[in-house]
Amino acid sequence: MSADLLRAQQNAVVEMVSIGPVAEELAARFAAAGHRLYLVGGSVRDALLDRDISDLDFTTDARPDAVLAVLKGWTDAIWDTGIAFGTIGARRRGTTVEITTFRADAYDRVTRNPVVRFGDTIEADLVRRDFTVNAMAVELTGEQRRFVDPHGGLAALAAGTLDTPATPQESFADDPLRMLRAARFVSQLGLTPAPRVLVAMTEMAGELSRITRERVQTELSKLLLGTHPRRAIELMVDTGLCEHVLPEVPAMRLAIDEHMQHKDVYTHSLVVMEQAIDRETDGPDLVLRLAALLHDIGKPDTRRKEPDGRVSFHHHEVVGAKMVRRRLRELRYPKSVVDDVAQLVFLHLRFHGYSGGEWTDSAVRRYVADAGPLLERLHKLVRSDCTTRNRRRAAALQRSYDSLEERISRLREQEALDAIRPDLDGNDIMALLGLPPGPQVGKAYKHLLALRMERGPLSREEAEAELRAWAAENGVDTGSA
């Protein structure tokens, strides 16, 4: 390529990167102090992809103390929690910036923590970055902006290729988390790993054991919330990474779906996840996506061959919910996420027990009560779990679920279906039976709740009569009541 053509391409790239007034002001301050400032990494990549950029990442030849001096009096807020690694964070008029001194780190390759060493050139800084698409920079402090791309990141981005500046083996040995980041970029950006990256990921998957569970969970969540999570999960399974993150997912390849319509439960689960994503209405939903991916992980442990030759997975939803709790806790997910995903897995088969249309009011009440605030997600999961290629059967299942939702709507009009409580509360029970707080009050409450589920709302007189009858039948000492 001629020098003129290269310069023309670089100028065109620079024009594509819109940095905004905050970056312009920052560059002017660094230039006035005699330092260089570069927009770098994901900020350049996302600008070239015309993606929204909420935060700006910069690198500079200025050492941290000099960076603090440049920022003094200009920022609305500043934090230096990363100063040991050369990173200063700041906020200006609602824009967050991170400025990191050139780095030329070495890694001990036992942990993922670098031995921090500051560098002197942008080229040395870029070669230590994870992927070539993140190893591009735009210099903002020269006489004119300059695009810096020593590792072909622009060409890789145009080709949709994910490769590393150094060899993948070197890069992943330095920081094994980069292998999960590769899967994340497959999901978020639709990139395809270069063949040598795939080889290294497969050879080095076990190195993930060096990474804390919290960091693994963060990357897993980001890739699940991306645009192409199925591709990312398939990459993790094919390279062996998933064995060290969600081993229950590749284990599903061993179980043949009972409908015999899919090669295995693993493929079925990926399809369910995609169909659940299609039903999202308020943006990516981590709980729904996790539940869809993991809803059948109990099948390998419950697989049985019946006398008639069919394969069954009795109670796989119960086993699966327990497995979900164990795995998500191990990955340090928040308790609310663990509880919600496990409950959706536990409930995902409930509908099929009534899919013939014989739903009673009592069954509808229990379905709504057990789902609680997860009801809308449960609707999406159950509908997504239909992956049969038999169009008539699929249509029949959808009609049956339409009927259930109609029943729920009708009951909602008649009673407070979303907040089902006994017709008498704990205070009423204690007053009527003369009981102090304790286990007997709880048992009475559960009895009245079961009646509420079975018969719907009772009048005050009916509820009190039922409570007294229960107390008499169970020999409850009612004191002086």
Structure tokens at 405: 């939702």
Return the higher-pLDDT residue of 452 and 317: 317
Q: What is the pLDDT of residues 113-157, one digit of tens each?
A: 667 788 899 999 999 999 999 999 999 998 888 899 999 999 999
Distance CA 145, CA 27 (A): 11
CA 88 to chain centre: 28
Closest of 108, 129, 111, 114 to residue 209, by C-alpha: 111
pLDDT of 19 > 60? The answer is: yes
Q: What is the pLDDT of residues 100-112, one digit of tens each?
A: 999 876 666 666 5
Identity at 359, one-letter amino acid code? W
pLDDT of 476 > 60? The answer is: yes
Q: What is the pLDDT of residues 415-437, one digit of tens each?
A: 655 566 777 788 888 888 888 88
Q: What is the pLDDT of residues 270-292, one digit of tens each?
A: 999 999 999 999 999 999 999 99
Q: What is the pLDDT of residues 340-385, one digit of tens each?
A: 999 999 999 988 766 555 677 788 888 888 888 999 999 999 999 9
Residue 343, φ and ψ in degrees, nearest 5 = -65, -40
Q: What is the mean pLDDT of residues 319-340?
A: 97
Q: What is the pLDDT of residues 84-105, one digit of tens each?
A: 889 999 999 888 999 999 987 6
